[in-house]
Homo-oligomer: A and B are copies of this chain.
Amino acid sequence: MRILDKHQAESYAVEGVEVTRWEQFQLTSTVPFQAMWYEVPAGGAAPLDQHPERELSVVVSGEAEVQASGATHVVTQGQAFLLEGQEAHRVHNRSPKAPLLVLSVYWMPERAGELAAAAAGDGGESNE
C-alpha cells in the first residue's frame, strides 16, 4: 500500500492555483489515468481549461462552482463531477474564506470502457 500525500509532493502555481501533479509518483504503469490535486484560494478561479482527456474531479474540501457547456454547477465536498473530452470548463471558488481542494483524474477516452467492464464483471470488490 502506498499513500499519496499532497503535502509531501512538489507543487507549482498556475495563475494563482496550486497544482500538484501525480506524474511525480511514477504510477503510470499501474494506474489507468493521470491525476492531480489543485487548490483554488478563496475568491479565486482556475484558468479556463479544455483538453482531450475526460476528467473526473472530486471535491475534497470547500465548494466548487463549475462553468461548463453553458451551465453553472455547484459541487460540494464529497461530490464529483465528470467532464467530457474537449468540454471547456472553469472552476471558481466563491468562498470568501475557505480554500477549494479538488482531486482530478483524467484519461484519454479511447478504450476506457474495457478496464471498467473487466472490473465490473468479475464479482470482485465484494464487501466494501
**Chain A interface residues toward B at CB < 8 A:** 1-6, 14-15, 17, 19, 23, 27-34, 36-38, 46-49, 51-56, 58-61, 66, 68-69, 71, 73, 75, 77-84, 87, 89, 91, 101, 103-120, 122, 124-128
Most B Cβ at <10 Å: residue of A77, A91, A114, A117: A114
Most B Cβ at <10 Å: residue of A46, A47, A79, A126: A79
Taken together, the copies of this chain in the complex come to 2
Partner of A32, one of B32, B52, B89, B126: B32
- Interchain CB contact under 8 A, A124 and B31: no
A29 to B122, CA, bound (A): 16
A38 to B78, CA, bound (A): 11
Q: State the Cβ distance, A124 to closest chain B Cβ, in Å.
A: 4
- Interchain CB contact under 8 A, A108 and B112: no
A104 to B80, CA, bound (A): 12
- Interchain CB contact under 8 A, A116 and B32: yes
Residue of chain B at shortest CB distance from A34: B119
- Interchain CB contact under 8 A, A122 and B108: yes
Residue of chain B at shortest CB distance from A80: B4
A117 to B37, CA, bound (A): 19
